[in-house]
Amino acid sequence: MQSSILAVEVFISNTTKLFFPPKDTLLETDKMRSTSRKNLIISTLCLMPCALISLPTQAATENSAIPATKTAIPVAAITPTTNTAIPAAVTPPATNTAIPAAATTPATETVVTRPANEIGNLIASKQHPYLTRSDFTHRAEDLDALYQASGYQPIWLSNDSNATKHVAEVIKLLEDAPNHGLNVADYDIPLLQQKLTALKPPLDIQSKDLALYDTAISLSLLRFTHDLHYGRINPKKLDFNIQLRTEKTLDLPALIKTSLAQNTLSQLPSLVEPKLPQYQKLKQALISYRAPEKAPSLKLIVKSSIRAGDPLPQSAELQQFLLAFGDLPADKIDNTASTYTDNMVEAIKKFQQRHGMKATGIINKATANAFNAPAAQVEHITQIELAMERLRWLPEINEGPVIMVNIPAFHMRFVDFQPYWNVPYKIAKDEILPKLAEDPDYLVRQNMEFVSSSGNSALRIRQRPGKGNALGKVKFIFPNKSDVYLHDTPSVSLFGRSRRDLSHGCVRVAHPQELAEFVLKNEGDWDISSIKKAMNGRNRRVVLKNTIPVLFLYNTAFFDENNNLAFYSDIYHHDVELLNALKNQEDLSDEGLFAPKEEVPPTNEPSTEQIEATKAQPVVATNTKQVIPPLVAINTKQVIPAIEPVATTEAKTTLSP
């Protein structure tokens, strides 16, 4: 008995040395990385907490009326997507206007010689006395390019008979900023209107007043189009690790000059705004939410929970409210009802699901608070605006499939069937070791083992494939520095929760087979039968011939696979941070928006060959009667990458063919 106790003590002592070295540099690295927690947060397009992704029973496709647009797949308790086209109102008009392409390489700095006139002098000063944001240093290059062709003469108030018309069109575009999720106060509209009235004909194109007004119009339009295309905040400022654009693909000055020459200024927004269907749908929803007739007021009085069949004096008001937001079909309205009908119950379930609540159909105080106006209405408008801002941060996406899971952009490159789970260092240290200390048979029962890391003498813990494996039957890998991936799960019950921020950083998939079908449909002889066979066979890695972009975002307003606008709680307070950042807006520097292309980091996951090599020689048998040999030669710095997992939210994914 005494010798058995001694053996266990030695086992725990040696294991502790493995994970708790005298000077653990990995822990120091963890601390240094604490500021990058947000970079691992995966709150899928639905922002439903917990990295739990649900896919439709069939891969959903989103038909967009917008050319060259990427469709996406929602991932989280998803049913087949209906084919919905972006409303015609948001479809970019078919015109012969070509979008000027910007130079793909940074221009070398040159000395520009400008005429000694009022416009040339103002551009050189990079200060505009008319505008609220007088310093236009970051827009000076674009402003200079806009006036070069005219010899630094006015382009809006020239001798052209359409001058007044063009100015009116620009002001109208700026006034429409709220419908694009932008702040109308950023573009000095009252001042532009006031100064225009003060300009009396005949106009002297050499006058200082005319130069000031003409450049004020140009600057406001440049700022508006730049905000609409790139967003108003650099995501790096908020510690969001989103992949930056690698080059400038849009020449705003050339686009404005072309639109002015062709009398197509009204089409500018559709040419510069994001083309993602998700963005276009949010824009249409924002317009609807702002319209008074689409935002009926409702103050439902709930003293106790209301269930099907209960009296409901405000039945008519509730039905009109649910109708306005698409939760109750028009043909289901019963104007004679004085009770809580079955049709209203189903509509409330839909409303609850859209707002991240458990869809019970019971009207309690929490449900009533979610739709009592006007506070809820204002909050939803803000959520939509912030969601649109984040979508502007994304680089332009080429044609082809894309998986959207709400932060950085990666490419899916591998699919592992019957995967091993290589336990991250922090999970092993914080969760597994304490359980092992209390129960020496813990590893055996969890089908885990100690194995050596490839290329060195360090040890790590991994879980073998099979029933109970934390990754389920399939894992989808897109190499990234944070070792985040999509995977199946044996914990399917977690998908029934309204809040799912329960993960260590990766994203659970509710319907992994459907995701595998979507990913492998263009990869040769893969069909439902072969995928099922692989998911129930031996460990196998499939290297994708056609990599798929994987986009991670964080939005609390999102159109789901059924074309319903869903709202979710700001569980990580990123909406609050973005709102505060927007209060101190300044012109974005183009230099901070673009970054050189980086090589794709290699996956930290072992290859199938490496796995096979280690299977034959486990370092330690997971039996309390066999003690780990002395670990003197182990390099603790190489045990497991120092990754700090964070809770994530359910991945509401969108598959787009």
What is the rounded average pLDDT for all residues in the chain?
69
The pLDDT, as a whole number, for residue 5 is 42
Mean pLDDT for 354-358 is: 79
Q: Which residue in 170, 175, 385, 397 sits closest to 283, CA to CA?
A: 385
pLDDT > 70 fraction of the chain, expressed in percent and rounded: 58
Q: Which residue in 45, 80, 78 sits closest to 60, CA to CA?
A: 80
The pLDDT, as a whole number, for residue 515 is 77
Q: Which residue in 254, 246, 230 sits closest to 101, CA to CA?
A: 254
CB atoms within 10 A of CB 582: 17
Q: How far apart are CA 405 and CA 51, in angstroms?
A: 9
Q: Does the pLDDT value for residue 453 go beyond 90? A: no
Mean pLDDT for 234-242 is: 82
Q: Three-state SS for 548?
A: strand
Q: Does the pLDDT value for residue 520 go beyond 80? A: yes
Q: Does the pLDDT value for residue 20 go beyond 80? A: no
Sheet holding 402-404, edge to edge: 52-53, 507-509, 486-487, 474-477, 409-417, 540-551, 402-404, 654-656
Q: Does the pLDDT value for residue 119 go beyond 60? A: yes
pTM: 0.61
Per-residue H/E/C for 29-50: HHHHCHHHHHHHCCECCCCCEC
Between 533 and 425, the higher pLDDT residue: 533
The values of phi and psi at residue 485, to 5°, are: -155, 170
Domain ranges of the chain: 52-75+395-656, 118-274, 296-372
Question: What confidence tier does 472 reach under pLDDT thresholds 50, 70, 90?
Answer: low
Q: Three-state SS for 513?
A: helix
The DSSP code for 432 is I
The pLDDT, as a whole number, for residue 383 is 94
Mean pLDDT for 190-196 is: 92
Between 492 and 323, the higher pLDDT residue: 323
Q: How far apart are CA 25 and CA 637, in angstroms?
A: 7
The pLDDT, as a whole number, for residue 437 is 79
> Could you tell me the fold of the domain covering 296-372?
Muramoyl-pentapeptide Carboxypeptidase; domain 1 (1.10.101)
Degrees to nearest 5, angle at CA 39 with 35 and 44: 140
Mean pLDDT for 495-524 is: 61
Mind listing the pLDDT tens digit for each residue in 35-77? Answer: 333 333 333 333 333 333 333 333 333 333 333 333 333 333 3
| pLDDT-wise least confident of 318-322, 324-328, 600-604 | 600-604
With beta carbons less than 8 A apart as the criterion, state whether 47 and 568 touch: yes
The pLDDT, as a whole number, for residue 392 is 94
Between 436 and 269, the higher pLDDT residue: 269
| pLDDT-wise least confident of 6-20, 340-354, 454-468, 523-537 | 6-20
Q: How far apart are CA 375 and CA 368, in angstroms?
A: 12
By 3-state DSSP, what share of the chain in percent is helix, strand and coil, each rounded to 5?
40, 10, 50
Q: How far apart are CA 231 and CA 242, in angstroms?
A: 13
Mean pLDDT for 128-157 is: 94
